[in-house]
Amino acid sequence: MPCRARRLHTVSTQPGRRASGVRPRQSPDYPYRIEVEGLAVEADVGPEQVHTVVHAPSGDVTTHLELSAQMIAEGISLPFVRRYPIESVADLPIVAEVFEHCRVIPTPQAYTQFHQRIGESGVAVASGPIAASPMHLVLHDLMAMDQFFYLYTDELEALRAFAARLEPLYEACLDAVVENEAEVVFWAANYDRDLTWPPFLEQEIAPWLRRAADRLHAARKLLLTHCDGENDRIGHVFGDCGVDVVESVCPSPMTSLDQHGLRTAFGPNVTIWGGVPSVALLEASMSTVDFHTYVDDMCEQIGDGHRWILGVSDNVPPDADLSRLEYLGTRFTEVASG
């Protein structure tokens, strides 16, 4: 069975159930792009720094990103934010104006080319927003995390009013991914028991996950979300929201849950994609003896591998022992073949 078919078979829903800027960078493979319309934008793009100023009706919005050669050499792929667009409650209405001038432009042909390029080698997952909801976007991208926690405590109504102004943009993103030909749609990433703590996840993120799941399932698509953090006490939320696949799931020793604990957390009907901690590929972090013991224990915990797509959580480290990666492939094939 080709790789694509195997993975789609693994993530498909139970019989009888209908199978079902905003991103900082915009890949040509995405099913839509976002453009700022009607506002002047100044960008000073250097080899390692990007300074951007957007002139909104009520004021300017300034950001500063850095991605140095040293950061890239160390395997860092996302820029460090030197200045966020939101630094205080006074910035909220100005930044909201910028988002209200953003337009989502569907690019179905771009996604079709991506889908054709992947072919039977895998699943061409269509990319939605990196943050699941407008409030999640504020935490994830629009302001420093520590400042967000203060603002969420002191100015909750102002934050929720801001988030409400971003909902039309999110609806347009959802429309775009629903209408394209993808079988599986990525919707958001980066949840954690402490940073997206249980009440926050339930109140500010889960409603949008449910909305996305309902729309995608009605279009006979599957919803995938990127759960690479600590999933203890929050894993059940994703299944409750109708998420089909939790991807890049990270187990112990990098989080508190082993593979059995992850299955218990997410429930029996959610496909877990991941389950191998990246440190297992590093001799400096896990000895050869410990690695083989870990893999034996992991294979025992996942049993017959039902609703598992085993893989390395998040990223294979640049200095990984590739022979370990090959060994994992051999062991996982044995699990899959029974």
The structural domains of the chain, with segments of one domain joined by +, span 3-34+105-336, 38-100
Span 239-249, pLDDT tens digits: 999 999 999 99
**Dihedral, CA atoms, 218, 182, 175, 187, nearest 10 degrees?**
90
What is the pLDDT, as a whole number, of residue 22?
Answer: 34
On the question of pLDDT at 229 being above 60, the answer is: yes
Span 252-272, pLDDT tens digits: 999 999 999 999 999 999 999
Please report, as a single letter, which amino acid is at residue 207.
P
On the question of pLDDT at 11 being above 90, the answer is: no
For 277-313, letters b (16+ CB in 10 Å) and e give bbbbbeeeebeeeebeebbeebbebbeebebbbbbbb
Q: Which two tokens stand for residue 268?
A: 């029996």
What is the pLDDT, as a whole number, of residue 12?
Answer: 54
The answer to whether 212 touches 176, Cβ cutoff 8 Å, is no
On the question of pLDDT at 79 being above 70, the answer is: yes
The stretch 61-89 carries a mean pLDDT of 94
Mention the CATH class of domain 3-34+105-336: alpha beta
On the question of pLDDT at 331 being above 70, the answer is: yes
Span 95-135, pLDDT tens digits: 999 999 999 999 999 999 999 999 999 999 999 999 999 99
Q: How confident is the model at residue 43 (pLDDT cuts 50, 70, 90)?
A: very high
On the question of pLDDT at 20 being above 60, the answer is: no
Task: Dump the DSSP string for 123-182.
Answer: --PEE--SSSSHHHHIIIIIS-HHHHHHHHHH-HHHHHHHHHHHHHHHHHHHHHHHHS--
Please identify which residue in the block is written with the tokens 């039309």: 168
Q: Which two tokens stand for residue 96?
A: 């909201």
Residue 313: CA atoms inside 13 Å, Cβ hemisphere, count? 25
On the question of pLDDT at 13 being above 60, the answer is: no
Model confidence, pTM: 0.91
What is the pLDDT, as a whole number, of residue 164?
Answer: 99
Span 286-324, pLDDT tens digits: 999 999 999 999 999 999 899 999 999 988 998 999 999
Q: Work out the number of other CB atoms within 10 angstroms of the CB of residue 92.
A: 22
